[in-house]
Amino acid sequence: MRPRARRFQLRARARICYVEAVSTQELPADSLRASDAYRLMISLVAPRPIAWVSTLDRAGRGNIAPYSYFQAVCSSPPTIVLGIGSRPDGTAKDTLANILDRREFVVNHVSEPFAEVMNASSAPYEPGVSEWEALGIEPEASTAVAPPRVRGARASLECRLQQAIPLGQGPNGAPSSTLVIARVVHFHLAEGLLERDERGRLKAIDPARLAAVGRLGGIAYTTTAGRFDLPRPPAPPPARDRE
Ligand SMILES: Cc1cc2nc3c(=O)[nH]c(=O)nc-3n(C[C@H](O)[C@H](O)[C@H](O)COP(=O)(O)O)c2cc1C
């Protein structure tokens, strides 16, 4: 057998770059302890955006907590997903209990000045204890849903629950996690973020102005400071022209 090349070429249009060959280790997913699978997932699927989720309980008390199993999955209609794990005793986290009860919530954008308080709001406060009051987070009224948004957040997405899908097997017969699928019904954006082109279409928002924080593995976070641009590639030429 020929020895495997130690270095190989990647071709992207005119530019060629070289990457080091690596040997890989394999792990069948069903052989993993739940805690190890968690560490792999949050390290490998990274950076992840952070949804700072504001909800109300049945009595109308506010709750806010961060979730980084969070993604945008559809633009029309605007749709997001959250993955909310069950607590070690199998009970639902306050955010999930409130979303299932009231079917609405707000995803607040986390910019750099909010990173520490966002993290502090992940502490396991007793149900009914408001992280808003405990941490001095200031609420501002939402427009289409009852839970408030965060004053000073550069963007907030008001959401309505579409579907909650239990995933896996957790403690005491609970799912290990619940996938929440929700529709964004109203957007709030800080003044100065929205710009339109000459045809009135919204331009992409400048990432530097959003100053988003992303979550990596463990307790590591990142910012958008090291950004670079890649224009979309043109359609490849038909196969016969490539020979
Ligand atoms: C940056 C960050 C991201 C998090 N992402 C998730 C997540 O995606 N899913 C989850 O179940 N818990 C996640 N957590 C943990 C919850 O925030 C934590 O369990 C919190 O106490 C839940 O609060 P609640 O019971 O008020 O909803 C995350 C914590 C931090 C700091």
Q: Which residue owns the Cα nearest ligand 1 atom 18?
A: 122
Burial-class residue 150 by CB neighbours within 10 Å (0-12, 13-18, 19+): buried
Q: Which residue owns the Cα nearest ligand 1 atom 9?
A: 84
In DSSP terms, 213 is beta-bridged to 223
Q: Does residue 172 contact residue 87 with C-beta atoms inside 8 Å?
A: no
Cα-to-centroid distance, 175 and ligand 1 (Å): 16
Q: What is the pLDDT along the chain (243 residues), one digit of tens a residue?
A: 566 777 877 776 667 888 899 999 999 999 999 999 999 999 999 999 999 999 999 999 999 999 999 999 999 999 999 999 999 999 999 999 999 999 999 999 999 999 999 999 999 888 778 899 999 999 999 999 999 999 999 999 999 999 999 999 999 999 999 999 999 999 999 999 999 999 999 999 999 999 999 999 999 999 998 888 998 988 888 877 655
Cis peptide before 49 (omega within 30 of 0): no
Domain ranges for the chain, please list them.
33-191+206-224
- Can you point out the beta strands (E) in 30-90? 48-49, 51-56, 62-67, 70-75, 78-85
User: What's at 155, amino acid-wise?
Assistant: A
Secondary structure element (H or E) that encloses residue 190, with its range: none
Atom of ligand 1 nearest to the CA of 87: 19
Fold category of 33-191+206-224 in CATH = Pnp Oxidase; Chain A (2.30.110)
Q: Which residue owns the Cα nearest ligand 1 atom 26?
A: 94
**Cα separation, 103 vs 183, whole angstroms:** 11
Atom of ligand 1 nearest to the CA of 215: 1
